[in-house]
Amino acid sequence: MQRSAPGTGAALSGSNAGGATADPAIAQSATVAAPQTGAGPARLAFVLAGGGSLGAVQAGMLAELIANDLRPDLVVGVSAGALNGAFLAHDPSSATIERMVALWTGVRTRDVLGLSFGSLLALVGLRSHFAHARGVRQLLERELPYRQIEAARVPLHLVAAEQHTGVEVLLSRGDLIEAVLASTAIPGVFPPVAIGGRTLVDGVVATGTPISTAVRLGATRLIIVPCGFTCVGRAIPRHPIGRAMHAFALLGARQLRTDFENYGARAELHLVPPLCPMAQSPYDYSQGAALIAAARTATRRWLDRGGLESAEFPPEFLPHTHP
């Protein structure tokens, strides 16, 4: 069963497989900026990757970027980065960071994953997903101070994927909560979301870190803010949902390296290094405060060492494990 957005839904950008064209009304309303040309001022994008509960790490990184007076011209987010991006784009200030820290510190696994008796139906093939998204929806309805994507003070673009083709779908207008739910709908874990006639799932299926999306939107300087991945072998979760979330994190990390290499000549890229070693599972939401504190310390150190003057790909993102 899929959830359908009420009302008009979000504006979509993306191509259909097989040469089919998108709904003209949807295509015309998509708010995709043309890339800038010439020697105009740099457009700074915060590019926010996914990573389940490791979104707390990303919140800590963002806290230090904001504390250093860095303000984006646009925000592009996918999966957990879509959730963080929705908050940040409303008002990239210390007050917003405090709200995000409170959210990641207070949330628990049961609040996010919403496992229930109905989860058993997925085990016998009678339901397409293990968890419902009511907890995430309630959290967003309670904490987000606005409801339409275009109401953000900083242009906000959230990435989802079309369920049947894996094509990237960019959500730039419309219902914010439905867009965040679509971008975070891990296949098999959460139900897909229907928006604008398309059935959407987690954007990591299409792009683990939307560097290419930000470049297409006209960004010339990108600060890529990851969540990282579990690299301590004993911490890799045994729970099937945890393993699915871990696999998504690895998928995003691998694609990040490829995109970093492919787009380094087209834009100025700066990648905040992830926490390493990482012994936290993306399935476990109980350590938000500790992750935020560790990420703030590491990001502050990176900034102090001239991280924003370097285009180096952090070695912590290369495939590796710790005992």
Token look-up 């016998």 returns 124
Identify the band that residue 111 occupies on the pLDDT scale cut at 50, 70 and 90: confident
The model's pTM is: 0.85
pLDDT attached to residue 130 = 65
Residue bearing the bigger pLDDT, 252 or 31: 252
Identify the band that residue 129 occupies on the pLDDT scale cut at 50, 70 and 90: very low
pLDDT attached to residue 310 = 92
Q: Of the ranges 41-45, 158-162, 221-225, 310-314, which one carries the lowest mean pLDDT score?
A: 41-45
What's the pLDDT tens digit per position in 212-250?
Answer: 999 999 999 999 999 998 898 888 877 777 888 888 888
DSSP per-residue letters across 118-145: THHHHHTTSSS-SS-SHHHHHHHHHH-S
Q: Where are the beta strands (DSSP E) in the chain?
A: 3-4, 11-13, 44-48, 74-78, 156-162, 168-173, 193-195, 198-202, 221-225, 268-271
Q: Please say if the pLDDT value at position 20 is more than 60.
A: no
308 within 8 A of 270, measured Cβ to Cβ: yes
What's the pLDDT tens digit per position in 131-161?
Answer: 778 889 999 999 999 999 999 999 999 999 9
